[in-house]
Amino acid sequence: MPKPGEPLWALVRKRDKKRFECELRFNGESYGWEAQIFEGGEIFTTHGRFVTRALAVQWAEETRKFFEVGGDEEAKP
């Protein structure tokens, strides 16, 4: 059973009221850090293999800003 991630942020996108949440996970030295984005509790996108937690947070924060201004799936970073 997978361990729960570390909650990083949650937001409701203004244009369509969809809720997004981000969690960080450390998957061991060989894989590194992963940021997971959920939409309405379901996995939306992930990005992994970050060498440091700071790099995973940076990607997650850039993605959060994108959603805050109304970004959509076709143009996500």
Give domain status of residue 77, yes or no. Answer: no
Nearest-Å Rg of the Cα atoms of the chain is 12
Under the banding of pLDDT at 50, 70 and 90, the label for residue 72 is low
Instruction: Report how many domains make up the chain.
Output: 1
1 falls within a domain: no
Give the domain extent around 68. 6-72
- pLDDT for the residue 2: 65
- AA letter at 54: A
Q: Is 19 left (phi over 0), alpha (psi -120 to 50) or beta?
A: beta
pLDDT of residue 75: 46
pLDDT at 61 over 50: yes
Q: What is the pLDDT of residues 10-60, one digit of tens each?
A: 999 888 899 999 999 999 999 999 999 999 999 999 999 999 999 999 999
